[in-house]
Amino acid sequence: MLDNETAKYNTLRINALAYALMIGDVTMFIYLHKLGCSLSSMESNLAQQGVRFFNILCIKGYSSILSYYLPLYFADLASSFSRHIEKLPNSSLDAEFNPFSEQNYTPMQLAIIFDHIQIVTVISEFTKNLIKSPEIFDLDYKEVTTGMSCPLLAVKYGNFTMVKYLHSNYNCDFYALNVDGLNAVEIAVNEIKARPHRSYLKIICFLIDIVGIKVDKILNEILHKNNDPALQEYFMMKLKKVKDSKFQEEDHKENTFE
């Protein structure tokens, strides 16, 4: 039986359905499933080696397989939703399957990190009418060790299009703080040096001017954290507005008591 036959794929031994998953071949995946290959056997085959099925879909962006699989998952594997999200033990996993060994990111969070908007759309559209969406698909769920949610991860990894998409379509909580007490703007400022090619200036402007994150009390601190000329100019402009506003308030108070 195909479920019991395995072949080597990188550091794993996987069955036929898992192989179709790994290479992202939706036609082969559907064909093998209809031929009789078991979805639960595939998940078990991967889980025994420390790999989560949904993680692979969301890391690689296989939205077509996801669209086929989600209805089956909800229909046949609903009991799995009650399981707490736990890291499957396998410290030797290749980075292809486990790119964040120190964190326990959900599938949805992985889709955000790897900038797969279509994955986010497929999951969100499918779960929007559920009474309670599973934790692994919750956009505002916080990873336990970092306190990072989907909107904060979109900011951290400089995915400007994703930031706009999450705010405009799902009203995600960009006001959340991570475990270090940093807001989304501070997270973006801290990541500029690590990913200089990313659109952090656009993200920061969007967070402050469109989302409405307040940074008045931390402007001086933020100014000292970065030396990007464009950001320096933007924050200096914001700082001037704050000072002008305070001056106008004080002037108004003085005129009131004259």
Tokens of 161: 């299009």
Between residues 42 and 254, which one has the greater pLDDT?
A: 42
Structure pTM? 0.87
Which pLDDT belongs to residue 244? 63
Range in 52-61, 113-122, 248-257 the model is least confident about: 248-257
Range in 57-66, 176-185, 193-202 the model is least confident about: 193-202
Which pLDDT belongs to residue 160? 98
DSSP string, the chain: -TTT--EEETTEEE-HHHHHHHHT-HHHHHHHHHHT--HHHHHHHHHTTT--HHHHHHHHT-HHHHHHHHHHHHHH-GGGGGS-----S-TT--TTT-S-TT----HHHHHHHTT-HHHHHHHHHHHTTSSS--GGG-TTPPPTTT---HHHHHHHTT-HHHHHHHHHHH---TT---TT---HHHHHHHHTTT-TTS-HHHHHHHIIIII----GGGHHHHHHH---HHHHHHHHHHHHHHHHHHHHHHHHHHHHT-
Which positions ≥6 away from 9 have C-beta within 8 Å?
Answer: 18, 19, 22
Q: Give the residue-averaged pLDDT of 165-174.
A: 97
Q: Give the residue-averaged pLDDT of 143-170.
A: 97
